[in-house]
Amino acid sequence: MSGELINAAREMMSTTVDKTKMYVDMEQSKAYAEHRPRYTDELFKTISDYCKETVPSLNLAVDIGCGPGMSTTGFAKYFKKVIGVDVSETQIACAPKDIPNCEFKVGYSDKLPFIKSGTVDLICSGESFNLMPQKETFAEADRVLRPGGTIAIFGYDLPSSDNPEIDAVIQKMWVTMIPYWPKDSTQIFDRFNSVELPYPGWVRNDTLKMTMRTDLAKHIGMMKSTWPVVAYGRDHPEEDFIGDISRQIEEILERSGSSTKEYNVNYSFFILMGHKPKN
């Protein structure tokens, strides 16, 4: 399933939503921590390898808009220390506490006073740069990055499953929720094609893909972690729309005759990476 249809309706999207408050509901953050995709090592290695091209060793990575840490923890294998930063206290509360070289902080992408200038080897943003004040975030990234350090931003397309009938049900739901998407989500739907990194020679990588095995409960959990579902649910307490979606998917799975009732959900990534010039 693509975001093209939703993107086409960008005029109907919200320009008023406070993007720092979209992930502050504890139930939503728990669903996020449990059901959003765990990224592959390939993604973390691709970014870390790019970073290694211009710095002697990988000491410090900072993941801005880290959520409950799925974009942060995979760097722990490559960097001596990783700091995840997110504006939402509930997202940070749901981040893991048992990874010795990972630390999580509540904070803003464009204000990182706890990070000394010129000390960071990688500043990364996963599935979050569209929500941030971009000019100010680039300026703060430039302050904290060492010469040769890397800025990387990445995202993924709305996932598609290997069952077109399930995709049709979910696509219909997203279309109903178009007025609840913040307008800046279209940057994700068009794969950050409108974003220019501030460093010369920056690159794109559109090759990485990932497949996750899922079932109805996990898939519904994933949807409950999204802002449009939370916001639409608040405005329409009389509607059991998640119950309706569940029943429709359940019927499709019954008809399919699958004994496990599991199916695949497929993700495609886009990564933008650039090196801060050395002089």
| CA separation for the pair 226, 228 (Å, rounded) | 6
Residue 115 or 252 with smaller CB distance to ligand SAM: 115
Token pair in block for residue 147? 């010469």
Question: Around Cβ 85, how many Cβ atoms within 10 Å?
Answer: 24
CB of 47 to ligand SAM, least distance (A): 12
Residues 88 and 24: their CA atoms lie apart, in Å, by 6
User: 211 and 161 in contact (C-beta within 8 Å)?
Assistant: no
- Closer residue to ligand SAM (CB): 90 or 161: 90
Residues that bind ligand SAM (CB under 6 A): 19-20, 23, 36, 64-67, 70-71, 85-88, 91, 108-109, 126-128, 131-132
- Give the nearest distance from C-beta 251 to ligand SAM in angstroms: 30
- Distance CA(27)–CA(167), nearest Å, equals 25
Q: How would you classify the pairing of strands 102-106 and 81-86? A: parallel
Q: Give 92 or 249: the residue with its C-beta nearer to ligand SAM.
A: 92
Strands (E) in 41-138, as ranges, are: 60-64, 81-86, 102-106, 120-126
Please say which residue, 104 or 199, places its beta carbon nearer to ligand SAM.
104
CB of 264 to ligand SAM, least distance (A): 20
91 vs 171 by CB, closer to ligand SAM: 91
Q: What is the number of other CB atoms lying within 10 angstroms of the CB of residue 5? A: 14
> Token pair for residue 275?
């090196």
**Which residue lies nearer to ligand SAM by CB, 20 or 163?**
20
Query: Which CA distances in Å does 42 have to 38, 49, 129, 246, 279?
Result: 12, 10, 21, 32, 31
User: What residue spans of 145-226 are helical by DSSP H?
Assistant: 164-176, 186-189, 216-224
State the minimum distance, in angstroms, from the CB of residue 12 to ligand SAM: 21
In whole angstroms, how close is the CB of 260 to ligand SAM at the nearest point? 27
- Minimal distance, residue 64 CB to ligand SAM, in Å: 5
- In the bound state, the residue with its beta carbon closest to ligand SAM is 67
